[in-house]
A and B are shown apart, each in its own frame.
Chain A
C-alpha cells in the first residue's frame, strides 16, 4: 500500500513538471553536492576530483580499460552525449544540502544527483530528489538509516555501517580461528556525531551478540581541543582492543595523545574516515603504523584486478596522490550512474530509475573490491563489502579477507617507544 502510494506520488510529481526530461542531445547534466567549504572541505575536494576524473574518462572513452562504457566517447546509448557535472557546496549543513539539491534540479536542470558524503546532508538532499523524482546516487554515506526510508529514487553503492561493523566481527572471528587471537576486553571510542554514534550503537549490539566484553565506551565531542580525559579513561580500562570512529582531525590528535600519554592497546581497529585519509599517514609518519582500519579500497588489491592500478595511475598522475576509499567510491558512483543512464538510452526520469534498479555491474569492471553492483528493493547495493587494512611500513596493506590479503596482521602492536 505504501509503495503504491509512493509510486502514485512520484508519477504526479513528475507530471506536475518537477523533473525535467532533457532531450538526449549533446550533454547529460549531473549535479554533484559535496562539502567544498567548511570542516569537511578537504574530503569534499577529493570527492570532487574523483567525480570529475570519472566524467572525463567517460567522455573520452577510457581506451583499453575494462571499465563500463570504455571504448566509447561519451554515452553511446545517448548518441555519444557527454556528461557535464554541476557542483554544489553543502558546507556540511543539511539545509544547504537540500537547498543546493533544489537549485541543481530546478535551475540547473540536472537529470540526476550524486553526493553528499555526510549522512545527515545526504538525508535531506535525497529527500528533495525523492520529492522531484530525480535519481540520487549515493556513493559515500554510510548511515544505515538512509536506505530504511522506503525511497524509490535513492540508490547507494557503498555498503553501510551495519555491514561494516559486521565486517569487524567477522574479521575478529576469522583472526581467532586462524591465529587464536581473541581480545578479552574491548573499548569503544567515537566522535559524538551521527556516524560515530551509530557505529558505536552497532558495535555494542554485535559485541553483545557475539560474546565480547565491552569495558569502556568513550564518547567525545567533535572539534575537541584536546583528548586527554578520553585517553585517560581508555588507559584506566586497560582494553586489549580499541575500536575507534573518528574523522581526520581527531584521528591524528588521538594517535598523538596515545603516544604521548602511553596508551598502547594490543590493537586499534578503526572505522575508516579519518584513519584512511591521505593526510593521516602524511602527518603521523611512523606513529600511524600498525593501525587496523576498515577500508573500502586499497592499492594492493590490484594483484587481484589490474584495473585498480591502471585507474589509480591515471588518478595519481592528475592529482599527485593515490585513491583512497572515499575518492574510489565517488569515482565508482559516477560510473554506476552513467552506466545506468546509458542503458536507459534517455534522460527520462522513470527510464533512468528503471535502469538503475536493473544495474548489474560485475566486480571485474570496478576498482572496488566488491563482487559487483546490484541494488535491492531499498536501493542498497548488496554486493559490496569492506576490507580491513593495516598500516605497515608506512603503507596501507590489505589484511582481510584473507583471500585478498597481501600481508599478515601484526598483532599486538609494539609499544610507542619501541618503534
Chain B
C-alpha cells in the first residue's frame, strides 16, 4: 500500500517537473494531450471499468461540458472557471436523466443505447444555430491569463491545469474505489443478481457512477474548449472520441486506478508516432500500424497493460519462490 503511495508521489513529482525538462512546446503539447485523454479515460473508468457499464457515448458529456462553458462565456461573459462547474452540473443532470431509463438495458444493448444517445445529442447541436450549429464556436482569445483561462505565451499553465484535473479525477476515482461504493460497483459489475438479492439498489448506484463519470468528463470538455479555442459538434461530440477514451481504459486495464492513465499514454503515443512518421505519405500506413498494435494488445494482453504487468510480476514471484528451493 505504502509502496503505491510512494510511487504515486514520485510520478507526480516527475510529472510536475517534466515541462521544465521537456522544453519543446510541441512535446509539451503531446504530454498535455496524453494527460487530457488520461483524465477522460479515468473518468470513463468509473462507470465503465468499476461499475461495468460500458458506455460508448461519453463524448456527449464531453461536448456538453465544452459547449456549456463556451456558450456561457461567449454570450454572457461568464468566467470559464464557473463555466466548467456549470458544464459539469449540466452534463451530470443529463446523465442522470438518460441513465435512469437506460440502465434497465444490459450489455450490448446498453452500449449501443449510449451510442444512440450521444449521436442524437450531436445531431441536435449540429442543427442548433443559436449555439453555432455546424459552423462551431470561436472562443475569445484576446484576453489572456489565469482569469480568462486562455494562455498564449506558454503551454505551462495548460500543462498544470491538465495535470491538476487528472490528479483530481484520479483522487475521485480512488476514493470511490476504496469506499463502499467501490464494493457495490464491483458487485454490480461481476454479480448483479447476487447484489440485487442482497438488497442493493443497482440502479441507484449505477446513477452515482454515471453522475461522477459525466461531471468529470464534462470538465475535460471545458479544458479542451479553452485550449483549442474553437469547438464544433464534430470535434467534441463525435462517437470516435467516445470509442477512443473507452479504448484507452481497456488498453491500460479496465477496473484499475492507473490502467486508464497508462492506456491513454500508450494510445496517444502510438497515434503521434504513427502520424508523424507514417502519416505524411497519405498511404494509410499509420492506420495499418495503429490497427496492428491494437490487435496485438487486444489478443495477447486482454486484461490490458496492467493485467499483463500483474501476470508478469506474478510469474516472476512464482519463479522466485520456486527458484529459492532449487
Contacts and interface: CB of A to CB of B under 8 A. Distances in A.
Task: Please say whether the chains A and B touch (CB closer than 8 A).
Answer: yes
Interface of A: 2, 5-6, 9, 12-13, 16, 18, 36-37, 41, 44-45, 48, 86-89, 91, 93-96, 98-100, 102-103, 105-107, 120, 123-124, 127, 131, 143, 145, 149, 192-194, 196-198, 219, 221
Given A36-B280, A37-B279, A94-B235, A194 B228 contact: no
A98 B228 contact: yes
Interface stretch (B6-14, B132-140, B186-194, B315-323): B132-140
13 contacts: A5-B142, A37-B284, A44-B282, A87-B280, A89-B275, A102-B25, A107-B27, A124-B230, A127-B229, A127-B230, A145-B138, A194-B134, A197-B133
Interface of B: 24-27, 29-30, 33, 123, 126-127, 133-136, 138, 141-142, 144, 152-154, 224, 228-230, 232, 234-235, 272, 275-276, 279-282, 284, 286-287
A197 B282 contact: no
A94 B230 contact: yes
Contacts of B25: 18, 102, 106
A41 B279 CA distance: 11
A99 B153 contact: no
B266 to A, nearest CB: 17
A192 B134 contact: yes
Nearest to A196: B134
Nearest to A32: B280
Contacts of B287: 37
Contacts of A106: 24-26
Contact of B228 (A9, A41, A94): A94
Contacts of A37: 279, 282, 284, 286-287
A5 B145 CA distance: 14
A87 B286 CA distance: 14
A123 B139 CA distance: 11
B250 to A, nearest CB: 22
A36 B279 contact: yes
A48 B282 contact: yes
Nearest to B27: A107
A138 to B, nearest CB: 15
Given A12-B153, A102-B26, A194-B135, 16 more contacts: A2-B142, A6-B142, A13-B153, A36-B282, A87-B280, A88-B280, A89-B275, A95-B228, A102-B25, A102-B29, A103-B29, A120-B136, A123-B230, A143-B135, A192-B134, A197-B134
A175 to B, nearest CB: 30
7 nearest A-B pairs in the assembled complex, by CB-CB distance: A36-B282, A89-B279, A87-B280, A106-B26, A197-B134, A103-B26, A106-B25
Question: For A9, A13, A102, A221, which residue has the most chain B Cβ atoms within 10 angstroms?
Answer: A102
A171 B141 CA distance: 38
A85 to B, nearest CB: 10
B313 to A, nearest CB: 35
A149 B153 CA distance: 19
Contacts of A87: 280
Q: Is the interface of A mostly helix, strand, loop or mixed?
A: helix
Nearest to A9: B152
A5 B286 CA distance: 42
Question: For B29, B154, B224, which residue has the most chain A Cβ atoms within 10 angstroms?
Answer: B29
B124 to A, nearest CB: 12
A145 B230 CA distance: 12
A294 to B, nearest CB: 20
A89 B153 contact: no
Contact of B282 (A41, A93, A145): A41
Contact of B127 (A16, A105, A192, A198): A192
Given A36-B279, A44-B282, A197-B133, A120 B24 contact: no
A218 to B, nearest CB: 13
Contacts of B230: 94, 120, 123-124, 127
A185 B25 CA distance: 55
A80 to B, nearest CB: 26
Contacts of A94: 228, 230, 232, 235
B235 A93 contact: yes
Contacts of B136: 120, 123, 194
A376 B148 CA distance: 30
A274 to B, nearest CB: 17
Given A89-B279, A219-B127, A198 B26 contact: no
A145 B228 CA distance: 16
Contacts of B142: 2, 5-6
Contacts of B127: 192, 219
A197 B135 contact: yes
A5 to B, nearest CB: 7
A193 B123 CA distance: 11
A187 B183 CA distance: 60
A106 B24 CA distance: 7
B284 A193 contact: no
A107 B27 CA distance: 8
Nearest to B141: A127
B155 to A, nearest CB: 9
A193 B136 CA distance: 9
Given A197-B133, A197-B134, A197-B135, A89 B282 contact: yes
B82 to A, nearest CB: 24
A120 B26 contact: no
Contacts of A123: 136, 138, 230
A399 B84 CA distance: 53
Contacts of A2: 142
A96 B29 CA distance: 11
Contacts of A131: 152
